[in-house]
Amino acid sequence: MLTVEQVNLQDKQHRRRFIDLPYRLYKRHPQWVPPLRMDVELMLNKQKHPFYEHSDADFFIAGRDGRDVGRIAALVNTRFNAYHHTQQAQFYLFECEEDQAAANALFEQVFAWARARGLKTLVGPKGFGALDGYGLLVEGFEHRQMMTMMNYNYAYYPRLIENLGFHKEVDFISCYLSAEAFTLADRVHSIAERVQKRGTLQVKRFKNKKELKAWVDRIGQAYNAAFVNNWEYYPVTEREIKFVLDNLLVIADPKLIKIILHNDQVVGFLFGFHDVSAGLQRAGGRLFPFGLLHILRELRRTKWAALNGAGILPEFQGRGGNALLYTEMEKTVKDFGFKHADLTQVADTAVQMRHDLVNLGGKLYKTHRVYARDL
């Protein structure tokens, strides 16, 4: 018999069932990178996660004959809806066996949840914040997930969702760059040099985390302003910015974080990270007792870089800002000895950025699709 139940967030065992399901579903899968269990637990904590200061979510588990076979989260982001003048619900954390009836039952719960709140459309996968990754993987199943900055799923997932009447809302592409092929045209370097000589824009680099932390507030403000034209944008709160940046600082090498300044104003940024996917796989979702050791070891030996977060304020994009940003991207890949880079999740609505990535030598190798359906 198939059943669906709402997770009682006060019940530790109930939460654990929701969290545990993908670890069983993807057990020993070579391309799946397990999230840290503590991070998923935080998403279910309405007292601690900053999303719940303005919005809400609930969680559901599907079971068949006493065994958990699927799960899903239903969200409403009231700040996004207010900014875009829409009535949108979101789904996230969807996992399911190849069982259409179970998927149907889970989504029926989300449909009912959304309609009860007067919402008109359902969009997803779309999570709690900027670090959660967007969309369902529809191309690139043979490639390993880039840490937990994006989602991984089996190839049958799109079919489960499309059979429910969902259609494409937006695609997010990720590009592969080899260090060998990543060589900018001389013209780009010349533009970057000219704007720096004129003093219009300058690059600031960081030596340690203490120095980086002193700039966190200004970086957060620039992050909030740089993506105003993006599909996923909404004005995040100060605590959400702090939450994102605090999480970045845990895994960040300050030398891979760069900002672009106009006078003392942060007008652009580049977030680079050592890809510790293999370490996260060995950690199995736990930092202790040995998970942290696996991650730290991978920091030292990985040859992959994740470039997840590159932006320039719109008013500086035609004034040499893009050239400077891409020059620093090239330096990040080559100066630190990386052999490979993943330019992570650029929306297909960001036409100029996609065009630039191709010109840089990027090759599309993963596509994540956000789906939508009227309620």
∠ CA 97-150-91, rounded to 5°: 55
**Domain span at 236:** 177-366
Count how many domains the chain has. 2
User: Do both 80 and 216 map to the same domain?
Assistant: no
Q: Are 80 and 37 in contact (CB under 8 A)?
A: no
User: Do both 98 and 24 map to the same domain?
Assistant: yes
pLDDT at position 7, please? 97
User: Do both 200 and 318 map to the same domain?
Assistant: yes
Instruction: Take residue 241 and report the two structure tokens written for it.
Output: 């910015």
Q: Quickly state the pLDDT bin for 18 (edges 50, 70, 90).
A: very high
pLDDT at position 37, please? 93
**Domain membership flag for residue 375:** no
pLDDT at position 253, please? 85
**Domain membership flag for residue 40:** yes
pLDDT at position 313, please? 80
Higher pLDDT pick, 232 / 33:
33
pLDDT at position 343, please? 85
Which of 138, 155, 173 finishes a domain? 173
Percent of the chain clearing pLDDT 70 (strictly above): 99
User: Do both 256 and 124 map to the same domain?
Assistant: no
pLDDT at position 73, please? 98
**Domain membership flag for residue 371:** no
User: Do both 192 and 44 map to the same domain?
Assistant: no
Which of 148, 173, 198 finishes a domain? 173
Q: Are 153 and 164 in contact (CB under 8 A)?
A: no
User: Do both 99 and 156 map to the same domain?
Assistant: yes
Instruction: Take residue 279 and report the two structure tokens written for it.
Output: 């370490």
pTM of the model: 0.91
Which of 150, 173, 196 finishes a domain? 173
**Which burial class, exposed, middle or buried, applies to 250 when counting CB atoms under 10 A from its CB (0-12, 13-18, 19+)?**
exposed
What average pLDDT score do residues 33-58 get? Answer: 95
Instruction: Take residue 116 and report the two structure tokens written for it.
Output: 């009860």
pLDDT at position 167, please? 97
pLDDT at position 214, please? 84
User: Do both 93 and 33 map to the same domain?
Assistant: yes
pLDDT tens digits for 271-320? 888 999 999 999 999 988 888 899 989 988 999 998 877 777 877 777 77
Q: Quickly state the pLDDT bin for 145 (edges 50, 70, 90).
A: very high
User: Do both 223 and 357 map to the same domain?
Assistant: yes
User: Do both 190 and 301 map to the same domain?
Assistant: yes
User: Do both 186 and 108 map to the same domain?
Assistant: no
pLDDT tens digits for 98-134? 999 999 999 999 999 999 999 999 999 999 987 788 9
pLDDT at position 220, please? 79
Number of CB atoms found within 10 A of residue 373's CB: 19
User: Do both 163 and 183 map to the same domain?
Assistant: no
**Domain membership flag for residue 361:** yes
| Domain harbouring 11, CATH code | 3.40.630.30
User: Do both 217 and 126 map to the same domain?
Assistant: no
